[in-house]
Amino acid sequence: MAVGERVAIVTGGSRGIGRGIVGELAALKYSVVVNYRSDGEAAESACRDALTRGAPRSLGIRADVADLQAGRILVERTLAEFGRIDLLVNNAGVAPEVRLDLLNTTAESWDRVLGINLRGPFFLTQAVAATMIELLRAGTVVDPQIIFVTSISSAFASVNRGDYCVSKAGLSMVAQLFATRLADEGIRVNEVRPGIIATDMTDSVRDVYDRRIAAGLVPIRRWGTPVDVGRAVGALANDSFPYTTGEVFHVDGGLHLRKL
C-alpha cells in the first residue's frame, strides 16, 4: 500500500450522486471502494473513471447495505484489500417504487425503503466506526471521517412518499448520534443534505421540477448535479473542516431557506 494512501468506501457509488462523490474523492487521491447493489458494469465504469481521475486504486464490491451480513463483508473485504478505512460515505438510497398517498403507504414499501436508507447505514456505520477506532489505536489511520448523504426530504414533507421522508429524517438523526458518540474517539461525522439533484432517481419528475425551479422554487434557479454534491463531500474529505462535526451541509441552491 502506498505511503499516505487514504481509503474511502462509497455506498451506492456506481451511479448518480454516488458516482459524483467517487470522482471527487479520486481527484483527492483517495483509493475508492465503489459499493453497488446490482449493476456491476456501472461499478466497473465508476472504478475506471476513479483511476482516470487520480485514485491510486479502486475496487467495486457488491453488497446490499440492507443486508447486515453483506455490510460486514463489505468492511472485511475492504480491510483485506487495503488494510484501512479512512472515510465512509453513506450514500446508498432508494425512493419508493411507486409514489403513494400517505394513507395508502404499504408495509412492503416501508420496509424496503427504510431497510436500505436507514437500517443498513446505521449498522454499517456501527461496524465501520468500531473498525476505525481499532485502526486509530493501532496508528494505521489519522482523523477518519464518516459522512451521511441525506436529502432535503429529511426536513420537507412529501405526503406521496412518506416512507422516503421518514428514512431521510431518521438518517439525519443517525448522523447526529454518531457525531456525538464518536467525537471523543477522534472520528468526525457530518451530513451532506442534497436538494433537487438531476439523477435517474428524479427522471420521472423532471418536467414538474423544471417548471417549479423556473418559477423560483430554488433561489439558485437550476437543478443540482452529482458533482455539486461530490464537491461538498470532497471538501469535508480533504480536511477543510477539521473543527466541525455533527454539521449539516446543504447542497440545495438555497431551497432550505425560509422566505416570505
User: Of 30, 36, 164, 243, which is the active-site residue?
Assistant: 164
Q: Give the other-Cβ count within 10 Å of 133's Cβ.
A: 15
Which grid coordinates belong to 206?
423532471
- Measured in whole angstroms, how far is the alpha carbon of residue 91 from the centre of its chain? 2
Distance in angstroms (rounded) separating the CA atoms of residues 155 and 166: 9
* Residue 101 backbone phi and psi in degrees, to 5: -55, 145
Distance in angstroms (rounded) separating the CA atoms of residues 123 and 141: 21
Q: What's the number of CA atoms in the CB half-sphere (13 Å) around residue 138? A: 11
164 is catalytic: yes
- Kind and range of the H or E element at 58? strand 58-62
Place of cell 484501512: 84
Distance in angstroms (rounded) separating the CA atoms of residues 13 and 38: 11
| Residues recognised as catalytic | 164
